[in-house]
Amino acid sequence: MIGQFIGYLIGPFETFGFMRIALVACVALALSNGPVGTLLLMRRESLQGNVLSHAVIPGAALGFLYAGYSLAALTFGGLLSGLGVAGLAALAARSRLQRQDSPLIAFYLVSLSFGVLVVAARGSQADLMHVLFGTVLAVDVKALVLIASISSVTLLIVAMFYRPLAVESFDPAFLRAVGGGGGAFRFMFIALVALNLVASFQAFGTLLAIGPLLLPAAAARCWTNKVWPMIILATVIGMVAAIAGLLTSYYANLPSGPAIVMGAGGLYGMSLLAAGRMRLKAKGLEGLR
């Protein structure tokens, strides 16, 4: 009985190479999405992350126009346009003409529309779906190497510069005063987010790439107030969601990207409920004391 169950869990990965590659890609993504998503959440910049994920589209779409499904073209195009739009958004925010939300949302809508137009002008309906929602199961070894490299570099950078990255997010004035190099770390963090979104883009498309980045971190935040446990928990939740999503998509014949994001969303919902109930209990106990 248990053996059969484990067989169901392992079977698909044992049988099909593409499932194995998808699994490794998702695990690698979860490893770097954990810390980056947690930092993004703590900075209260989820919206900015969302904008970045859409800002990746125009560049990736242009890359696709010129080079087809070339990994390098998609990646560099996406990275460049992501950073470009992030820079523009920062400029718009600095001008203080409007609250920061409005220019961000404008950039997000414009990049999304532009990217869709570019792809639609040249490619097919299938290409459009590929750009918007990604195809985890179509990740090949080359893309896997790219994802794994980005994830390794991200982990190294976060491990090395964790302190200034964290301080910059809640007291930038202090970081500047003590000479931590404030602006440099702000840029570094945005570049990290853009890099990870580009990596996710292959698997989840531009509409969903932000999901595996933010949802596990948000779920982890329900359970703990400390940063390191949050990062580790977010990583684990991301991996569990990936495995659950892949298996669901395999057995129910559903698209895998949305299934994984749904898995992460489900874990987030459960965390919200469970953590809320625990907090109520703790309060009740305190009241008794």
Partner 1 sequence: MTNSSDRTRQGRSVSEGVRLVRAATATLKQSLGSWLSTLENKTQTTFNRYLDSGYDPGASDSHTRRGEQGIAVRNLSVCYGERYAFEGLTGEFQPGSLTAVVGPNGAGKSSLVKALAGMVRPAAGEVLCPALARHRLAYLPQQDELDRGFPITVAELVALGGWRNFGSVREPPPRVTESVFEALVAVGLVSVTDRQIAELSVGQFQRALFARLLLQDADVILLDEPFASLDESTTEDLLHFLRRWHGEGRTVIAVLHDLDCVRRHFPSTLLLARSPIAWGETDLSLSVDNLARAQKALVLAERGRIGRVA
Question: What is the binding site for partner 1 (CB under 8 A)?
Answer: 42, 44, 95-97, 160-161, 163-164, 166-167, 169-171, 173-174, 176-181, 184-185, 225-227, 230
Residue with Cβ nearer partner 1 (138 or 155): 155
In the complex, minimum distance from the CB of residue 134 to partner 1, in angstroms, rounded to a whole number: 31
- Closer CB to partner 1, 97 or 288, in the complex: 97
What CA–CA distance (Å, rounded) separates 227 from 233? 10
Least distance between partner 1 and beta carbon 207 (Å): 29
Interatomic CA distance for residues 261 and 267, integer angstroms: 10
Could you tell me how far CA 277 lies from the centroid of its own chain?
Answer: 28
Q: How many whole angstroms from its chain centre is CA 174?
A: 29
Rounded Cα–Cα distance for residues 179 and 172 (Å): 11
CB-wise, 151 or 169, nearer to partner 1?
A: 169
Spatial CA neighbour of 257 closest among 136, 171, 95, 153: 136
In Å, the largest CA–CA distance within the chain is: 69
Nearest distance in Å: CB 157, partner 1: 11
Cβ closer to partner 1: 12 or 103?
103
Judged by beta carbon, residue 126 or residue 159, the one nearer partner 1 is 159
Residue 2: CB minimum distance to partner 1, A: 39
CB of 181 to partner 1, least distance (A): 5
User: In whole angstroms, what separates CA 134 from the centre of its chain?
Assistant: 13
Q: What angle do CA 144, 147, 153 make, to 5 degrees?
A: 135
Nearest to partner 1 of 155, 227 (CB atom): 227
Ramachandran region of residue 223, left (φ > 0), alpha (ψ -120 to 50) or beta?
alpha
Supply the minimum distance, in Å, between the C-beta of residue 38 and partner 1.
9
Q: Which DSSP letter does residue 44 get?
A: T
Based on CB atoms, which residue is closest to partner 1, 26 or 231?
231
**d(C-alpha 45, C-alpha 51), whole Å:** 10
Closest approach of Cβ 28 to partner 1, in Å? 25
Cα dist. 157→151, 189, 193 in Å? 10, 10, 12
Lookup: tokens for 4: 């059969």
Instruction: Collect all residues with Cβ–Cβ distance below 8 Å to 167 and sequence separation of at least 6.
Output: 174, 175, 180
**3 vs 287, which CB is nearer to partner 1?**
287
Least distance in Å: CB of 175 to partner 1?
Answer: 8
